[in-house]
Amino acid sequence: MKKLLIAGLLLIIAGWACSPQKESTSSTSTAANVMIDSTEYEITIIDPHFDRWYLMNYSPSRDRSNSFYRSMNNIGVSNWNDYFNRGRYSHVIGSYLHFNPSVDYGMEVNRRLYWYFRYLEENYRVRLLR
């Protein structure tokens, strides 16, 4: 009898837990729902000297538009990957960059990548942005 009571109680609890929940309604219009891309991108630069160089060379007065950074990064990534595939500058370029030109990575990522390419040009004499 005790086992039957416990089994019945478990069935009631399981039935309650699996029942569909009521949807809450609100007075706001559902036609105004907008899907927002919540993907955030981040760039990690491992070179220990870059951050100091960046702080010394970058200033808001030298800032450009996001479209400028995107177009320059397309050139820089193309040259980077070309050098990687040919084995040139292997002391600096050690991996392939997976960069999709149709994706907007955001102003901060585009800016830092552009300035990293400038850093490599100045300190290692690797022509990336030309």
Q: What is the pLDDT of residues 59-116, one digit of tens each?
A: 999 899 999 999 999 999 999 999 999 999 999 999 999 999 999 999 999 999 999 9
Nearest to 108 by CA among 43, 54, 55, 47: 43
Give the sign of the dihedral formed by CA 47, CA 74, CA 97, CA 128: negative
Quick one: pLDDT at residue 37? 53
In a domain, 86, yes or no: yes
Domain, as residue range, for 76: 63-130
In a domain, 69, yes or no: yes
Task: Tell me the C-alpha distance between 76 and 115, whole Å.
Answer: 11
In a domain, 68, yes or no: yes
More confident residue, 25 or 97: 97
Domain count of the chain?
Answer: 1
The band of 40, judged by pLDDT with boundaries at 50, 70 and 90, is confident
Percent of the chain scoring above 90 in pLDDT: 68
More confident residue, 103 or 34: 103
In a domain, 113, yes or no: yes
In a domain, 20, yes or no: no
In a domain, 124, yes or no: yes
